Amino acid sequence: MTAVDVVIMAAGKGTRMKSRLPKVLHRLGGRALVDHVVARARQLQARRIVLVTGHGAAQVEEAVSALERGDGQAVPAFVRQEPQLGTGHAVQQALPQLPDDGIALILNGDVPLIEAATLQALVDSCAGQRLALLTVEMPDPTGYGRILRSGDAVRAIVEHKDADEAQRGIREVYSGFMAVPNALLKRWLARLTNDNAQGEYYLTDIVRLAVDDGAEVVAVRTADKLQVDGVNSPQQLADLERAFQLRQARALMEQGVRLADPARFDLRGTLDCGQDVEIDVNCVFEGKVRLGEGVRIGPNCVIANADIGAGAVLHAFTHVEGESAGVRVGEGALVGPFARLRPGADLGPEVHIGNFVEVKNASLARGAKANHLAYLGDATVGERVNYGAGSITANYDGANKHRTVIEDDVHIGSNSVLVAPVTIGRGGTVGGGSVISKDTPANALSVARAKQVSIANWQRPKKQPK
Ligand code: UD1
Ligand code: CA
C-alpha cells in the first residue's frame, strides 16, 4: 500500500464571496468549509495532511488549528502560498512536504461534501502509478474545467475561461480532486506555464503534460454532483447548505425520526435520536444533541449541546444553549413555550419549566415546577418545589456568584427575590413579594416584606382648579 499525502488548497481569495472572511472559513452545516475537507482527509488515514494557505493565511491557520485541537486531532502542516498564482502554483508550494514514494491526493478547500469512499476510489485508481481525476457531469458546467477526450482517453482539461464554444458545450468537468504519484507530480509541475486567460499556473495543465509523457490518465466519474459542488458565491453556499440539510434530514427520517418538514430542519452538529422522536418545523440543532425515545420538539426551537430524556416535550420557541457545560432535561419533563435553558441547566424527571423562565447552572429535582416568568441561576432546587411566577434568585453581588438552595417541597410565592447565598428549608413557604436574604427554617412560612397597613377613609388627591 502506497502512502497517501493529502494536499488541501485553501489559499484562494474567494473574490465572488465578497466577504472579509477567507472563503474556506465560511460555514456549511455549522462547520468551516475547510474543516469538512480536513475531516474527510482524516478518514483516509493519510500519512500527512498539508494545507496550503495564502489569502487570510494567519486567520485560516489559527481557525483550523483550533478546530482540530478541539476534536483532539493533530494539526495539519501549513504551507504558505504568497502571492497566489493559481492552483498549480499552490501545489508547488507543498512539494517539499511530499516524499517521492507517496501518492498526492489533492483536494479543494472549497468543496466540502466529498465522501471518503469517493476519495478512496480515486486513490485506488491512481494505484501509485496513474494520474487519476475525479470527474462529474454537470447540467450547467459554467466555470468548471472541461474534460477533453480523444475517444475514451482523457487528453486534457481546459478551463472555462480558456475554452472555445465547442469545448464549453462539454458537460463532463473536473471536480477539483485528483490523485497522482508524488514523483510524477513534481516532474509535471516543474513544467507549468501561465500563458492562459487568467495568467495563472493551472494545476489542471498537468493532464496535458502527463499525456505528452505517455503517462496513463484515468477519469473516475461520480454521479453524485453534491459531493463535488464547490462554493464560490453566497448563492452556491446557500444552495449547498439546503442540499446538505436535506441529506441529513433524510438520513434521520430513515432511522424513524418524524420531521414535520425536512425542508425546514437544520442540523449544525450531531443529532442522536431514540425511537418515535417528533420534530416540528423550523428547529435548529447545534453541537451535540441527543433526544431520547418519544421526545417531541415543538416548532421554532433552537437546541444546542443538550441531552433530552425520554418522553420530554419542548414546546414552541424553546431556546436551549448548553455550550460546554451542557443542558440536561429529564424524562417526561415539559419545557416552554418560550423557555430558555442555559449552560448547566439540569432538569430532573417530570420537571416543568414554563413560559419566560430562564434556568442557568441550576438543578431541579424530580417534579419541581417553575411555570411562569422566573429566573433560576446557580441554584439547587429540591423535589416537588413550586417556584412562583416572577421570582428570581439574586445570584450575583456585582463581583461573585453565589448559590441558592431550595430544599424539597418548598413553595416560593410569586415575585420573591432569593438573595444568595441562601437556603430555604425543607417544606417551607415563602410569602409572595418577599426578599429573602437569610436562611429559612424547615416547614416555616417566611415573609420578608413591609407589613400591610390600611388607613381608614383615605381621601385621594383631587385635581386643582386652574
Ligand atoms: C478549479 C479547477 C477547475 C475545476 C474546479 C472545481 C484549476 C485551474 N481549475 O477551478 O478545473 O473544475 O476547481 O471546483 O485548478 N487556490 C489556491 N491558490 C491559488 C488559487 C486557488 O490555493 O492560487 C485554491 C482555492 O482556495 C480553492 C481551490 O484552490 O480552494 C480552487 O480554486 P478556485 O479559484 O476556486 O478554482 P476554480 O476556478 O473553481
Ligand atoms: Ca472553486
Determine the 3-state secondary structure of 371 from DSSP: strand
User: What pLDDT does residue 122 have?
Assistant: 97
Which residue's alpha carbon is nearest to atom 28 within ligand 1? 108
DSSP state of 152: T
CB 303 within 8 A of CB 284: yes
User: What pLDDT does residue 239 have?
Assistant: 97
CA distance between the termini of the chain: 102
Question: Which domains, ranges and CATH numbers included, belong to the chain?
Answer: 4-228 (3.90.550.10), 258-446 (2.160.10.10)
DSSP state of 205: G
**pTM value?**
0.91
User: What pLDDT does residue 1 have?
Assistant: 82
Active site residue 402: no
Q: How far is the CA of 108 from the centre of ligand 1 (A)?
A: 7
Q: Is 174 in the pocket of ligand 1 (CB under 6 A)?
A: yes
Closest ligand 1 atom to residue 159 Cα is 11
Amino acid, single-letter form, for residue 313:
V
- Active-site residue identified among 89, 160, 315, 372: 372
| CA distances in angstroms from 99 to 2, 74, 103, 127, 217, listed in the order given | 11, 20, 9, 16, 21
Q: Is 9 in the pocket of ligand 1 (CB under 6 A)?
A: yes
Tens place of pLDDT for every residue, the chain, 466 residues? 899 999 999 999 899 999 999 999 999 999 999 999 999 999 998 999 999 999 999 999 999 999 888 888 889 999 999 999 999 999 999 999 999 999 999 999 999 999 999 999 999 999 999 999 999 999 999 999 999 999 999 999 999 999 999 999 999 999 999 999 999 999 999 999 999 999 999 999 999 999 999 999 999 999 999 999 999 999 999 999 999 999 999 999 999 999 999 999 999 999 999 999 999 999 999 999 999 999 999 999 999 999 999 999 999 999 999 999 999 999 999 999 999 999 999 999 999 999 999 999 999 999 999 999 999 999 999 999 999 999 999 999 899 999 999 999 999 999 999 999 999 999 999 999 999 999 999 999 999 999 999 999 999 999 999 8
User: What pLDDT does residue 367 have?
Assistant: 98
User: What pLDDT does residue 73 have?
Assistant: 85
CA torsion angle 398 400 405 406 (round to 10): 20
Angle at Cα 246 formed by Cα 245 and Cα 252, nearest 5°? 90
CB 433 within 8 A of CB 413: yes
User: What pLDDT does residue 49 have?
Assistant: 96
Q: Is 177 in the pocket of ligand 1 (CB under 6 A)?
A: no
CB 305 within 8 A of CB 289: yes
Question: Which residue among 78, 87, 173, 189 has the greatest number of ligand 1 atoms within 8 angstroms of its CB, and so is best to mutate?
Answer: 87
HSE, CB side, 13 Å, CA atoms: give it for residue 352: 14
Q: Is 12 in the pocket of ligand 1 (CB under 6 A)?
A: yes
DSSP state of 427: T
Q: Is 147 in the pocket of ligand 1 (CB under 6 A)?
A: no
| CA 273 to chain CA mean position, Å | 18
CA 182/CA 77 separation, integer angstroms? 17
Q: How far is the CA of 107 from the centre of ligand 1 (A)?
A: 10
